[in-house]
Amino acid sequence: MSTQTTKNTAVIGAGVIGLSWAAMFAAAGYQVRVYDPRPDLADILHASVALYISQIPAVQNAGADVNALAQNVSVAQSVEEAVCDAMLIQEAGPEKIEFKQALFAQIEQFAAPDAMIVSSSSGIPSSVAGLKMRDASRLLIGHPFNPPHILPLVEVCAAPSTAQRHIDVLMDFYTHLGKKPIQLHKEIKGFVVNRLQAVLIREAAFLVEQGVVNMAELDELFKQSLGVRYATIGPLLSSCLGGGAGGVSGFMNHIMNGLIETVGQTPLSAASIDLLETQSQEAYPAELRAQLIQKRDRQQIWLVSGLEAV
Ligand SMILES: NC(=O)c1ccc[n+]([C@@H]2O[C@H](COP(=O)([O-])OP(=O)(O)OC[C@H]3O[C@@H](n4cnc5c(N)ncnc54)[C@H](O)[C@@H]3O)[C@@H](O)[C@H]2O)c1
């Protein structure tokens, strides 16, 4: 059965992430069949879906009928029932390689030939998760951030064998949901944001373990500085603007490379700094930097006062 004209979707796994996906798909007008062997599936959908839909910023702005949208979600009794006529299948089961491999082989048996099959995995690339499929080239990663119905990013990552047209369809789908999908240029375990997160959390735990600060102090240190900064600009634009006239290369050479050594990591090579300098000139041309600083400052002022008010 050709399904691309249908608005049927499936979510496999109704834990933290799957429940949130179900709410997002339903809010965008898709029918969603959810499969999970948990015995309380109907109850948890009832308790979560309408609440999550009501929290989606676009739903709040539109004043949409939350209960009517929640009716788009229904329980499936099996993987087959969930996926058989879905145009998109979003997997959100346990983060175990063997589990994902077996599940995707099963989904492939029942899914329509043109259905998109997507894994929410936090770090298992599709070329690994799809190893037991006959044709893994249509398995993609659509990795959200918790809580997915509120945080905009979805990392989209594909195996080298995946055709760009499949990726484009998925990017359009997430954009239509109101998400901010970003396609990675190549596969890497852990994808991008979780790799950044892993380094940060490792160092945070080290500082607590060493007794430099306790856990609550560490969280406060972060929230009152990098948290606000990184809500408005990324770490590399921040380095670029922090370097003043010297730009990103000035910042790396004069400040960051020494700090990188202090925490026991290998300093950036001259070639790596040159690459950042070249890309920074393309992405953030010198004539725009004053505007970027003003925008950063306006957003940070707005955030600092907004956070205090909530
Ligand atoms: N929690 C996060 O912050 C987060 C963020 C992004 C992505 N992810 C990824 O999303 C996926 C789900 O994570 P989660 O945090 O929602 O996990 P979770 O443990 O909350 O939910 C997993 C669900 O899978 C169900 N399940 C178990 N066996 C199943 C089967 N055979 N078929 C269908 N469902 C089955 C479980 O009953 C459970 O409800 C993982 O791959 C995880 O890496 C998690």
pLDDT at position 4 over 70: no
| Residue range 142-181, pLDDT digits in tens | 999 999 999 999 999 999 989 899 999 999 999 999 999 9
Cβ–Cβ under 8 Å, residues 117 and 124: no
Indicate the top mutation candidate among 122, 139, 151, 153 to test ligand 1's pocket, ranked by most ligand atoms within 8 A of CB: 122
pLDDT band at 39 (very low <50, low <70, confident <90, very high): very high
Nearest residue to 125 (alpha-carbon basis) of 160, 164, 152 = 160
pLDDT in tens, 87-146: 999 999 999 999 999 999 999 999 999 999 999 999 999 999 999 999 999 999 999 999
Q: What are phi and psi of 153, to 5 degrees?
A: -70, 140
Helical (H) or strand (E) element with 34:
strand 31-35
Q: What percent of the chain has pLDDT over 70?
A: 98
What span, in angstroms and rounded, lies between the C-alpha atoms of 71 and 66? 9
Prediction pTM value = 0.93
Q: Is the dihedral of CA 54, 58, 63, 69 positive or negative?
A: negative
CA of 20 to the centre of ligand 1 (A): 11
Whether 193 shows a pLDDT value over 60: the answer reads yes
In this structure, of 103-107, 134-138, 246-250, 273-277, the range with the lowest mean pLDDT score is 134-138
Q: Which atom of ligand 1 is nearest to the CA of 119?
A: 41
What is the Cα–Cα distance from 251 to 229, expressed in whole angstroms?
Answer: 16
Task: Let me know: does 21 contact 100? Beta carbons within 8 Å.
Answer: no
Could you give all domains of the chain from N- to C-terminal order, each with its CATH number? 8-183 (3.40.50.720), 195-309 (1.10.1040)
Which of the four pLDDT bands, split at 50, 70 and 90, describes residue 5? Answer: low
Beta-carbon count within 10 A of 122 CB: 18
pLDDT of residue 196: 97
Q: Is-catalytic flag, 220?
A: no
Read off φ and ψ for residue 34, nearest 5 degrees.
-115, 130
Q: What does DSSP assign to residue 227? A: I
45 touches ligand 1 (CB under 6 Å): no
Residue 147 near residue 180 (C-beta atoms within 8 A) = no
Alpha-carbon distance values, 133 to 18, 88, 104, 129, 305 (Å): 22, 17, 6, 9, 51
Instruction: Give DSSP secondary structure letters for 205-216.
Output: HHHHHTTSS-HH
